[in-house]
Amino acid sequence: MYKNEYERWLAFNLDDADLKPELESVKENDEAIKDRFAVSLQFGTAGLRGVIGAGTNRMNVYVVRQATQGLANWVKTQGGNQTVAISYDSRIKSDVFAKAAAEVLAANGIKVRIYKELMPVPALSFATRYYQCNAGIMITASHNPAKYNGYKAYGPDGCQMTDEAADVVYAEIQKTDILTGAKTMSFEEGMEQGLIEYVGQDCYEALYQAIESRSVRPGLCKTAGLKLVYSPLNGSGLVPVLRVLHDIGIEDITIVPEQEKPDGNFPTCPYPNPEIFEALRLGLELAEKSGADLMLATDPDADRVGIAVRCKDGSYELLSGNEVGVLLLDYICKARMEQGTMPKNPVMVKSIVSTPLADKVAEHYGVECRNVLTGFKWIGDQIAQLEAANEVERFIFGFEESYGYLAGSYVRDKDAIIGSMLICEMAAYYRSIGSSIKEELERIYAEYGRYLNQVDSFEFPGLSGMDKMAGIMQQLRSNPPKEIAGYKVVSVADYKTGVKTDLTNGTTETIQLPASNVLIYTLEGGASVIVRPSGTEPKIKTYFTTLGKDLQQAQQQKDALADALKPILA
């Protein structure tokens, strides 16, 4: 079957010059043909993501056109403006794929608002809402290695598409022949007919205004003298992040020169992920040379931001997404209470895999902490519920441990632009009162306990990877561990079945969240282990939360738990 499809592609008059030579090069290699054609990239709520190349299991213009035709078929049933917003980042072929999507939509009579240059995820979410679109498309593979690209689909609220809508789009994709099924017209023709328009300057300005209005200590940065090193990691963050930081008064910004310009090859780091040291190494070196107060880096689609802070001895420490999330929550709560801008019955939202330390901080300030499934769309869903009840101003902050933050309801996805602004404002404030982010983090730990949160990943590449992952999750369900590293399991929450079981007395309770393939083990003494397959990569992730009298004790417990799980997950 896959060989027939390969032959069909080989014989077809492909209009991407890179595809035919690749197909020719694997002519005698059955395994390579199988890898490209045995399956198709699956369209889900995260859209599509895959290696760039030829075939149904690769990211190319034909896969993009097919997906967009499926999306167009869905949009045509939705009424409304019949408009779709499109943005793209710096990845290889991102601009090509964005234009290909616009051409299919235009050919279907659907209006397009496309950014005239690369812009990040939050800009796409904002434009979708600003133009009251039926949907949005973001061409990105987030922080994956350079060989990947992807296609994220958004609903009319600027949130990633719901499961129901994604299922309909997927069914329409299945009906569309990948090579011949998508309608298309040239980009120029779409522009001439008024079907394709660039996003207007008014939309850019409205986005920046919406972000800057969320400053909790307006004007503070103008006099604080903050010294910053910033890296957009060769992605889409440079223009919007610098614009907002300059607007709020931060002038002393050094850009990491090797990572300044958009470049989908990401030449300085194989994995452009602000969670990992290698991506931030050049920025850290520059921070040490210049004595910066703070170093920050945004990922290629600028929805996540990682930071390194200066310690008293002049060294720099990378902070985790959980630590930054808790610091921002504490800073926003304290500042808004001091300024008298805290709303009645304030709400913050985080994912179930993010640190329980945030629950403690929220409780301290009288803020309701809502825990939702992993994926920022679930945080967006909580904002939508508040909006529907005319209470959207109650939402003050949302975060995920994977370096995603949002304050405000102007978008429905994580936003590294506002994350960068608030982190800088927080650093400037603590500097102005003779403290620092590092000292404030130690204060929080002293007050609430030394929580340690770490994530390990186990990769399962290749066509059999997903089956292996499914087998491991099934094994954990059919033979649940009674103890891990000598720590007794006191409860198991299975988000797939929606049941939490107390193993000390056998009682059960219903989990009030949608079904998800997640297992949470709570251990004697308060530690917890979470196991979940990634929704976007062939990985099983394990999230450890330990609580010790100091970091060393918390780390020892985490290491013991991780060692005990390795034989099950390897």
Distances 28 to 1, 491, 518 between C-alpha atoms, Å: 16, 53, 42
Contacts of 28 (CB under 8 A, 6+ apart): none
User: What is the extent of the structural domain holding 184?
Assistant: 2-199
| pLDDT computed for residue 536 by the predictor | 67
Distance, C-alpha 126 to centroid of its chain: 16
DSSP for 336-373 reads HHHHT-PPSS-EEEEETTS-THHHHHHHHTT-EEEEE-
Residues 303, 434, single domain; the answer is: yes
In a domain, 282, yes or no: yes
User: What pLDDT was estimated at residue 467?
Assistant: 86
The rounded radius of gyration (Å) of the Cα atoms in the chain is: 24
Which of these three, 142, 167, 199, is where a domain ends? 199
Q: Is the same domain home to 241 and 375? A: yes
Residue 205 lies in a domain: no
Q: Given this model, what pLDDT does residue 270 score?
A: 85
Q: Can you tell me the distance from the alpha carbon of 475 to that of 127, in angstroms, rounded to the nearest whole number?
A: 44
Q: How far apart are CA 228 and CA 303, in angstroms?
A: 19
Does some domain include residue 106?
yes
407 and 496 housed in the same domain: no
Among residues 448, 465, 492, which one ends one of the domains?
448
The CA distance from 210 to 190, in Å, is 31
Q: Which pLDDT belongs to residue 461?
A: 84
In a domain, 111, yes or no: yes
Same domain, 406 and 460: no
Q: Which of 142, 354, 409, 436 is catalytic?
A: 142
Same domain, 144 and 221: no
Tally of domains in the chain = 3
Give yes or no for a contact between 532 and 519, defined as CB atoms under 8 angstroms apart: yes
Pair 348, 359: CB distance under 8 Å: no
| Last-in-domain residue among 199, 234, 268 | 199
Q: What pLDDT was estimated at residue 534?
A: 83
CATH code, 492: 3.30.310.50
Task: Give the residue from 272, 256, 257, 263 showing the smallest Cα distance to 234.
Answer: 263
- Clarify whether residues 166 and 234 are in a common domain: no
Judging by beta carbons within 10 Å of its beta carbon (0-12, 13-18, 19+), is residue 237 exposed, middle or buried?
buried
Residues 361 and 307 in one domain: yes
Confirm whether 142 is a catalytic residue: yes
Residue 543 lies in a domain: yes
What residues form DSSP beta bridges with 137? 86, 153
Tokens of 520: 């949470």
With a CB cutoff of 8 Å and minimum separation 6, the contacts of 35 are: 55, 57, 463
Same domain, residue pair 78 and 172: yes
Segment-wise mean pLDDT, segments of 10 residues, the chain, 570 residues: 95 95 95 95 87 98 98 98 98 98 98 98 98 98 94 97 93 97 98 98 98 96 95 98 98 98 95 92 96 97 97 94 98 97 98 96 98 94 97 98 96 98 97 95 95 92 83 92 95 96 94 94 94 84 93 95 91
Taking every pair of C-alpha atoms in the chain, what is the biggest distance, in angstroms?
71
C-alpha to C-alpha distance for 307 and 286, rounded to whole angstroms? 13
> Based on the domain organization, do 245 and 157 belong to the same domain?
no
CATH number at residue 180: 3.40.120.10
The pLDDT of residue 45: 74
Taking Cα atoms as reference points, which of 246, 382, 104 lies closest to residue 255?
Answer: 246
Look at residue 206 and tell me if it is in a domain. Answer: no
Rounded to whole angstroms, the Cα distance separating 43 from 177 reads 15
Exposed / middle / buried, residue 208 (Cβ in 10 Å: 0-12, 13-18, 19+): middle
Task: Tell me: do 378 and 523 sit in the same domain.
Answer: no
Task: Determine, yes or no, domain membership for 126.
Answer: yes
Are residues 407 and 521 part of one domain?
no
pLDDT at residue number 189: 98
Residues 12 and 161 in one domain: yes
